[in-house]
């Protein structure tokens, strides 16, 4: 038993306070460093994200047709026109939003459930696992123009192989995949799932591998079957990742444009023209910057609301288990 002087502070406390003094001295000299590290990315971010948003918000308050002199401030008139059902702009915009909503509602569940299932399969140990991981991810490296053209020809009702293969196995081989509804939606959702499931699957796979094995073993010891373990261990451990994937998938689906423009060519009529498709046509081809900006702002606001709802849903549902 050693005798320690009560007066003097224990060596560890002294060392700690000296350490604090030393580290604050270090921090004091380099307070700007974090901001300097951020500066290059911030410049890019400001130029390509913040400034366009600000310009878009500013433009949406003006009647601005590219190339014409005069750009009067009209306040919220562009927004009012979007909600005036007698205006062509409003009718077209909301039917575009309807198409966007249909596509989002149809594709997001599939784009969350199917990649999750694929990730669970790819998480097993079997020969050729790496090969299959590459195969499922491969379509994602192609650009939208490539997959759009590819699937337009594959799904052509009279000239493409899909109908011919279906007929060969005895199924109806005359479905108009690219020129009728609801087959058009099936085509668009199917193509999008094929194209992007690899991306979501890779994220889910990484998250699955982070689920602590001990939790699974403890659950097994407690007598939980595979489904019970899935519900009680796997999903709650992945709550944050699930929330992230659901949010980005909703946003990506709501911003869909390429597949509709290439696979179904926004047919029949303009039934598969999404909101972004109409915004692009109004702004880029019609030169109506004011209206296009107002539509973009409305779409962005709706997406923010939806993201907020997703956040709230996940906080409430999974919160108690974390």
Partner 1 sequence: MSALSRRGFLGLAGAAAGAAALSSCGASIDSAGVRAPALATTGEYAGPPVQLDFWNPFTGGDGPTMARLVQQFNDAHPSVQVRTTSLLADDLYAKVLPAVAAQEGPQVAIMHLDQLPTYALRGTIVPLDEAVEAAGLTAEDYVPGAFEQAVYRDQRWGLPLDVFCLAQYWSRPAFEAAGLSGPVDGARFSEQMTALQASGVENPLWVTPGSWQLFTTLLAQFGGALFDEEGRRATFGSDAGVEALAWMRGLVEAGVSPQGAVDARAPFKNGSAALLADLPAAIPDLQDTAPDLAWEVAPFMTVGDRPAVFGNSHHFVLTDQSQVDEGTAHAALTFVAWMSRNAALWAEAGNIPASAQARAAASFQDSRQVVLAQDEVLETLSYLPLVPSSRDIAANSYQRAVSQVVLGQAEPAAAAAFAQATAQAQLDDLNRLYGI
Where on the chain is the footprint of partner 1 (CB under 8 A)?
31, 35, 42, 46, 50-51, 54-55, 58, 63, 65-69, 71, 87-88, 91-92, 152, 156-159, 176, 178-180, 265, 267-271, 281-282, 284-287
Nearer to partner 1, 180 or 255 (CB): 180
Nearer to partner 1, 123 or 179 (CB): 179
CB of 60 to partner 1, least distance (A): 13
Nearer to partner 1, 66 or 226 (CB): 66
CB of 214 to partner 1, least distance (A): 36
Nearer to partner 1, 96 or 198 (CB): 96
CB of 295 to partner 1, least distance (A): 14
Nearer to partner 1, 63 or 220 (CB): 63
Distance between CA atoms of residues 313 and 322, nearest Å = 15
Contacts of 90 (CB under 8 A, 6+ apart): 81, 82, 83, 84
Nearer to partner 1, 31 or 127 (CB): 31
Distance between CA atoms of residues 198 and 204, nearest Å = 10
CB of 213 to partner 1, least distance (A): 37
Helices (H), the chain: 11-29, 33-45, 51-59, 77-82, 88-122, 129-137, 144-154, 161-168, 183-210, 213-221, 226-229, 235-237, 239-254, 258-262, 275-280, 289-318
- Give the 3-state secondary structure of 146-175: HHHHHHHHHCCCCCCHHHHHHHHCCCCCCC
73 has which bridge partners? Answer: 62
Query: What is the DSSP code (8-state) at residue 321?
Result: G
Helix (H, G, I), strand (E, B) or coil at 19: helix
CB of 244 to partner 1, least distance (A): 22
CB of 265 to partner 1, least distance (A): 7
Contacts of 193 (CB under 8 A, 6+ apart): 107, 110, 111, 114
């Amino acid at each position: 038993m050693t005798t320690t002087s009560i007066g003097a502070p224990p060596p560890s406390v002294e060392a700690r306070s000296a350490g604090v003094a030393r580290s604050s001295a270090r921090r004091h000299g380099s307070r700007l460093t974090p901001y300097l590290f951020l500066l290059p990315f911030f410049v890019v971010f400001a130029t390509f994200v913040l400034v366009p948003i600000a310009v878009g918000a500013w433009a949406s308050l003006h009647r601005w047709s590219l190339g014409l002199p005069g750009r009067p401030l009209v306040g919220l008139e562009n927004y009012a026109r979007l909600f005036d059902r007698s205006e062509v702009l409003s009718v077209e915009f909301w039917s575009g939003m309807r198409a966007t909503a249909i596509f989002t509602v149809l594709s997001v569940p599939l784009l969350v459930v199917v990649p999750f299932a694929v990730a669970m399969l790819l998480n097993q140990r079997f020969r050729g696992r790496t090969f299959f991981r590459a195969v499922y991810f491969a379509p994602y490296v192609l650009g939208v123009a490539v997959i759009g053209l590819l699937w337009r020809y594959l799904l052509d009702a009279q000239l493409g192989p899909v109908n011919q293969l279906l007929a060969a196995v005895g199924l109806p081989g005359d479905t108009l995949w690219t020129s009728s509804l609801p087959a058009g939606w099936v085509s668009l959702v199917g193509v999008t799932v094929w194209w992007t499931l690899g991306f979501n699957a890779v994220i889910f796979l990484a998250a699955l591998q982070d689920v602590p094995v001990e939790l699974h073993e403890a659950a097994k010891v407690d007598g939980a079957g595979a489904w019970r373990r899935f519900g009680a261990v796997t999903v709650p451990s992945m709550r944050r990742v699930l929330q992230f994937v659901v949010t980005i998938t909703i946003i990506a689906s709501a911003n869909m444009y390429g597949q509709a423009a290439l696979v179904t060519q926004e047919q029949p009529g303009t039934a598969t023209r999404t909101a972004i498709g109409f915004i692009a046509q109004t702004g880029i081809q019609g030169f109506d910057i004011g209206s296009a900006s107002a539509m973009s702002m409305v779409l962005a606001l709706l997406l923010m609301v939806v993201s907020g709802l997703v956040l709230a849903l996940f906080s409430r549902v999974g919160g108690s288990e974390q």
